[in-house]
Amino acid sequence: MRYAVYIASLILLIASLLVASLWQPDGWWGVLAFGAIAALGTWDLLQTRSTLRRNYPVLAHFRYGLESIGPEMRQYFIESDTAEVPFSRQQRALVYQRAKSVNDVRPFGTQQDVYGHDYEWINHSMSPSPHVEHDFRIVIGADSAQPYSASVFNISAMSFGSLSANAIRALNRGAKLGGFYHDTGEGSISPYHREHGGDLVWEIGSGYFGCRDDQGRFDLERFTAAAADPQVKMIEIKLSQGAKPGHGGVLPAAKVSAEISATRGVPMGVDCVSPAKHSAFDTPRGLLEFVARLREASGGKPTGFKLAIGHPWEWFGIAKAMHETGLLPDFIVVDGAEGGTGAAPAEFIDHVGVPMHEALMLVHNTLVGLELRDRIRVGAAGRITSAFDVARTLAMGADWCNAGRGYMFALGCIQAQSCHTDRCPTGVATQDPSRWRQLDVPDKATRVFHFHDNTLKALRDLLCAAGLSHPDQLGPEHILRRVSATEVRSLGALYNFLAPGDLLGRIPGHAVFQSYWANARSDSFAAPDKVASLRASKSL
């Protein structure tokens, strides 16, 4: 059976030759078809790289073909509507409907298992609030020279290079139409970010793209010139990202086009390296001094940083540095480990970094415990597609939310998961002009606008049902979670929340604070002595 198809192709090839030469002159098509199959099988037998092909000539290719379309088969024919891998068909459909501004109501009841573990809901009020304006905003950098009024739902960091030119154009035009911000990603500000004038948050990573010298170090003069652009509303220092925290990156020289060279300030013909760590600072205090330096050089624009939480003592060191020096960021963006607009190594995607819920609550609680929460705004990102996702995140301590893949769906992304191959079928995550030029910017920009607008309308409806009028009134008591078949807890009861001042002069009972707060250092990211001794114990 292993050789059946190969042997059959040889027999049919011989038969076709006889038929074509003796009886049917137009039968050479059979010779060509069966000859090609026989040649493929012969090559399978002769090659030595694949044992499977040698053992199953011709047949092995059917396996490869089925394997190559396996993700599509599962996505369209096998997975349930609620299977989140990484986004469910139900989540994607909701974004598509809201982006197209078509009816998104659902008939005949929920598909969610309301008695299943981790099912969540928001409690409604017997006295709902009247409908209010849905353009919910918060002020970031109230004490800075140029405070920014931000929407509570914005576009997360995605660089030109990861996304196509037309995808960047459409996102920024949509942000302009809706009055919300577009984070540039660490690839700096491209010409496509500037075409439509939408609000930008300039993300500066360890490569200092757009503000670096010839050696890749931070260049204050270049930063000052670029930050003066009125389209740039805030400055965000990227410490780490959810998809691959603690991991740098390299854009091969062959992919450094003239556009990317000009945008990032790197030479063509040379690998574009994004280091794993910053060179402008190496301590928690140094980070805050860098924040203050950029705020001043930008003319007082709100300046903060984004991070995925890892070692808790490193975050505690930053928090202690804030308390000791009085140097505060205007905002902090918490990126959850479930983030992933860009491709990353499998181990990093699956097993590195703290998920957004726990990371957000750690940051929120620390700031509350130091009585700094009212002076620092907190954003959060990590698989947010619906108004309920936004409401839950705000209830857990955030002031606003960012979304990356949600807005990619609004652009037309179908979750083909080919972002890293340069063969994105919808022209969103590719640099192939034959693909991205098919993405219609005006149409997709309108969809980005509608997704934002309709999501905020849905958020407004949730708030009014709960008897509230603004997202800043949401608290952990509003969100309920089933923790077993017979137990339900509000987030306020399920998690430990610190009271204002709990970290001033004492250590609360929360396990992570008990373990690491006392020994965290504002002058170093190094592990505490206790942790170092545990590591050393293996060599004793």
Separation between Cα atoms, residue 445 and residue 166, nearest integer Å: 10
Contacts of 25-30 spanning 24+ positions with Cβ under 8 A: none
What are phi and psi for residue 448, nearest 5 degrees?
Answer: -60, -45
Tell me which residue has tokens 């807005």: 407
Q: Tens-of-pLDDT digits for all 540 residues of the chain?
A: 788 888 998 998 888 888 877 777 676 787 888 899 999 999 999 988 888 888 889 988 988 887 777 766 766 666 666 666 788 888 888 999 999 999 888 888 888 888 888 899 999 999 999 999 999 999 999 999 999 999 999 999 999 988 999 999 999 999 999 999 999 999 999 999 999 999 999 999 999 999 999 888 999 999 999 999 999 999 999 999 877 777 777 776 766 778 888 888 888 878 777 888 999 999 999 999 999 999 999 999 999 999 999 999 999 999 999 999 999 999 999 998 887 766 677 788 788 889 999 999 999 999 999 999 999 999 999 999 999 999 999 999 999 999 999 999 999 888 877 777 788 888 898 888 888 899 999 999 999 999 999 999 999 999 999 999 999 999 999 999 999 988 999 999 999 999 999 999 899 989 999 999 999 999 999 988 888 888 788 765
**What is the value of pTM for the model shown?**
0.88
Who's near 347: CB < 8 A, 6+ residues apart? none
Q: Is 47 exposed, middle or buried, given 0-12, 13-18 or 19+ CB atoms closer than 10 A?
A: exposed
Separation between Cα atoms, residue 188 and residue 290, nearest integer Å: 18
What are phi and psi for residue 489, nearest 5 degrees?
Answer: -135, 140
Query: Do the beta carbons of residue 186 and residue 203 sit within 8 Å?
Result: yes
Q: Which helix (H) or strand (E) holds 42?
A: helix 28-46
Q: Which of 455, 426, 454 is nearest to 167 (CA)?
A: 426
Q: Which two tokens stand for residue 298?
A: 């930008």
pLDDT confidence of residue 50:
84
Q: Which two tokens stand for residue 101?
A: 């501004």
Angle between helices 312-325 and 356-369 (to 10 degrees): 30
pLDDT confidence of residue 55:
86
Query: Do the beta carbons of residue 466 and residue 125 sit within 8 Å?
Result: yes
Separation between Cα atoms, residue 61 and residue 459, nearest integer Å: 50
3-state secondary structure at position 508:
coil
